[in-house]
Amino acid sequence: MASDLSAVEIVATQSGIELTVKVVPGASQTRVAGAWGSALKVAAAAPPEGGKANAAVLKLLADVFGVRRADVSLASGHSRPVKRIVVAGLTVEAARARLAGSQ
């Protein structure tokens, strides 16, 4: 699956990186599930109600990228399955390396 992750588009920003994430709530565990086109596909064990799936995804991405939870935020798509995520303090190269290591 690591080769799938090379298709994920990660864009550099002034403060870090930004990427698109496709969230699939109600999974058996919260995990990186591969690529979905140019987006990162994440399975979330939490239900989509009350922002629980969003919180689980942000925590997972903080763990995967090795940053504080406060450095990961939702830029758009709060109530949609496709979201834009911003990670502060991370380069594109570091993000790709950490993402590849998560598999």
DSSP per-residue letters across the chain? -HHHHTTS-EEE-SSEEEEEEEEEES-SS-EEEEEETTEEEEEESS-SGGGHHHHHHHHHHHHHHT--GGGEEEEE-TTSSEEEEEEET--HHHHHHHHHHT-
> Is 0.85 topped by the overall pTM?
yes
Structural domain harbouring 29: 2-88
Residue 93 lies in a domain: no
pLDDT in tens, 36-71: 999 999 999 999 999 999 999 999 999 999 999 999
Residue 22 lies in a domain: yes
CATH of the domain at 18: 3.30.1200.10
Residue 97 lies in a domain: no
Q: Would you place residue 2 in the very low, low, confident or very high pLDDT band (cuts 50, 70, 90)? A: very low
Residue 12 lies in a domain: yes
As for how many domains the chain has, the answer is: 1
